[in-house]
Structure formats: C-alpha cells, structure tokens
Amino acid sequence: MPPTARISSVEFRPLLLPPIRIPFRAIRTLCRPQCASRVLHAAHPPQCLGQHRALHLYKTAKAKTVLGQHKVLTFSQYSILPPSASEHTVNLVKSDTDATVVAENISLQKLYEDHVKPGHMLYITQQPKKVTAERYDKLKDEKVPDEFKTYAIVRDHKHQVPIKNKQNGDQYGGLKCIMINLSSPTPYYKLSLDRAYQFVEAGSPVEVRTRLKGAKLTKTERLQPGDPEAWPWMHKHFPHLRPDFILKAMPEGTVYIVNPVSDGRIVQWVMSLPVKKKGPIDLTTRLLRVQESVKKSITQGQQGQLPRTMRQQLAESGLTDYSPNTGMPKTQAREKFGRGGEHVTWGSEEKKKRVNDEAGSKFLVSPYTETLNRKLGEGFKFKKGGPARWGAPVNTKRRGTQLPGSSEAGSEAGENRD
C-alpha cells in the first residue's frame, strides 16, 4: 500500500491549558491558487480555477455596460435549416454497447419526428478522432459522415446530477453551461445532455456551446468570423449537434431564450422553461442591442480593454483614440497615466510599452508635459516659481526646474532665478 500522506499541523501551547493541535490548512489564507493543489488519493481530479474567456450569451444580454463585451462582435443570428433539407441517412441502434439495430438508413426528418422527444436524447456511438473532428475541410474531403453514422438514444436521469436551489417557475435559476463538440467522448456527451435536461427541469437557463475548433488561429484571425458554410454542412451530417434536436430532447415546453448565434466556428444558444417573471425585452433583442452599442462605443473612441491586435487595426484605420500600447482610449489613458509620479499605478501592458508610447502615440504623456518638453526644446525658460501644474516633474535639489533630458534648461532656469 502507498504511504499515508501526513497533514502538516500547528500546535498552540497555552500557559494554563494542555496544548491544542489543529491542521495547518484550517488557518490557511483565503487567497487560493489558480489551480487546485494536488491531494493524494483524491476521489476527483483537481479542477482548474483559471479564467475562461468564452462568450456567455446570457450574461452579455443582461449586461449593464459594454466594457468587455467586444467578444460578441463577430457573432450573428444563425438560421437552422430543417432536417428535411438534408439527404444524409443514419443508422439507429439501442446503445453504444448494444449494436441491435432499431432503424437503418433513416433520414434526419424521420429521426427527428419518430425518435427524438422529451427525455430521449440523441448521441453518436463512435466519434471521429480529434485531429479529424476539428477540421471542417478534412471532414468533408474524407467523407467522414459516411463512416460515422451510427446513433443511439439515451434516456434522461441516467446520471446523478446534484441540483441546488430548484425554481418553481417564477424566475430563472442560476446559469448553467454545457460545452460539446464532435470529438467529445460518448460518456461525456451523454452526461452533458443529461445534465442539461436536469438543469432545465430545475428551472435554470442552460447555455449550450458547440465548437468547431479548426486549425491553430493567429491573433488576427481570431478577430474575424470563420467559414459561414461550416456549420450548415455539419448540421446536415451530424444531427446530434443540431440545436433543434437538442431542444426537442429537453423537458417538454423548453424554449430558446437566446436564439442560436454563430461566428462560423461556434454555434451557441440559451434554452430554458418559460417563467412568469421575465424582463420586458427579449434577450435575443437585448443581445443585438449590446452588440450595436459596442460598435458605437468603438467608433466614438470610448471602448476600453480591447485586444491589442484590434487596437492596432483601429489605429491603422485612422481612429486616433486607440493605441497598441495601452488598453485605455486616449482620453482615459491621459487622465490616468499622464500625471506621472509615484501615485500612478502602472499596468503590466503600460510598463512594457511605455518607451514605445513616448516615441509614438504618446497616450501615457499628459498634454501639458508634451507641450512643456516641446517648449524646452525650443529654448523656453521658466519664470520665477517654475511650473506648478501636474505632469511636470520638479527638481527639488536645485532652485530651477529640470525635466529628464533637459539638464541645461533646468540649470539656466536656476541661474535666471538667482
């Protein structure tokens, strides 16, 4: 047997009482690391607590500010063609472990009408390799759908899913997210659909995200939508990824609260049971309004924290309010960083790009300091008292005022005062 892990402990020795020993982790700081620490003989693998940068339609549609909502720019509403538009046929078996044929060479329309219903969720019994499943062009050229065309039905409540704070239909519960793709293993896919079913049944909105990864993308390509023909072709040949098939398999009465949207690489939507208390505006309409507000904010030069590549493109297109040296627009950057001095907290990006900014866009320099440096270069001399406004560093060792790189001007100003 492996050795037992010893838990470190701390011992307190009071003066009048016997010593007290408690585990050290009981008084550990609340600042947790990004990833859970490794525990010997753990029943479950550690879950990464790092930040995920995926788009959440439900949160974006309910957002009160456009800050950080630029991820929605490449998305547009996605229209799903009916199953009858596909000529692809599939085979239906009992399960991934039982190859007994239930129906052979049936169309997607017949599969949708006769076999998919609330609590009966469709899944593929064997999935292609991940390298192939991530490439739409490879799937199409190698005719992968003709090889992987066997499906089965899984019933609801086959997995134990802990549910907290069930709703009674008055309002939405907490948001739940389900992420699936073509290369998802069969056990994981069945578990994901069962979780989605039970979450919807408990009154929570469920956001489903299906992704076609594709080849490694550059930073510039990530800011552009993908191939608009990819997902329509995928939905004609892999029905278990279709939003309408998944929606019909959910509890009876489930509806879209955010209609499917896509950027060519991702198809995403939110579904839930109807509730009595909901906002006056449809969330799909609200999502499109947020998207338009982000576009307007960028045009007006007020959108902060955009990706560096996007800021570079905006600056090259003629928008002088953005710079690759800082995530803030020009006005905000000068208000914060233009003062200089020890009271300004510099971000990591601004620290790295500070030298480039001084020689380029000058977002991190105050207008007064910029004018002052120009005048000093032209031989400008201060009057008695020197500059008193913010943005002009003062030399306290001499009576004159001296800026970095202008020692002669400062000396002359000091001599003039004398």
Token duo for residue 42: 């753990």
Determine the pLDDT at residue 34: 44
Spatial distance between the Cα atoms of 35 and 4, rounded to a whole number of angstroms: 23
What are the pLDDT digits (tens) for 131-175? Answer: 888 888 899 999 999 999 999 999 999 998 988 888 888 889 999
Category of 119 on φ-ψ map: left (φ > 0), alpha (ψ -120 to 50) or beta: left
Global confidence as pTM: 0.73
> What gap in Å lies between CA 179 and CA 163, rounded to an integer?
19
pLDDT for the residue 240: 96
Q: What are the domain boundaries of the chain? A: 72-294, 340-418
* Distance set, CA 334 to CA 104, 145, 357, 365, 366 (Å): 68, 56, 12, 6, 6
User: With a cut of 70, which residues of the chain have pLDDT below it?
Assistant: 1-53, 214-215, 338-362, 364-418
pLDDT at 401: 42
Candidates 71, 85, 131, 81; CA nearest to 263 is: 71
Scan for tokens 């307190």, then name that residue: 12
What is the rounded distance in angstroms from the CA atom of residue 128 to the CA atom of residue 153? Answer: 19
Strand, coil or helix: 21: strand
Give yes or no for a contact between 202 and 196, defined as CB atoms under 8 angstroms apart.
no
The whole-number pLDDT of residue 217 equals: 78
What whole-number distance in Å separates Cα of residue 196 and Cα of residue 410? 70
Q: What is the DSSP string of 200-225?
A: HHTT--EEEEEE---SPPPHHHHTS-
Neighbours of 6 (CB within 10 A): 7
* Residues 6+ positions from 29 with CB-CB distance below 8 Å: none
How does strand 89-93 pair with strand 150-155?
A: parallel
| pLDDT tens-digit readout, 334-373 | 777 766 555 666 666 666 666 666 666 667 665 555 554 5
pLDDT at 142: 92
**Topology classification of domain 72-294:** Translation Initiation Factor IF3 (3.30.110)
Q: What is the DSSP letter of 241?
A: G
Q: Which two tokens stand for residue 17?
A: 């009482």
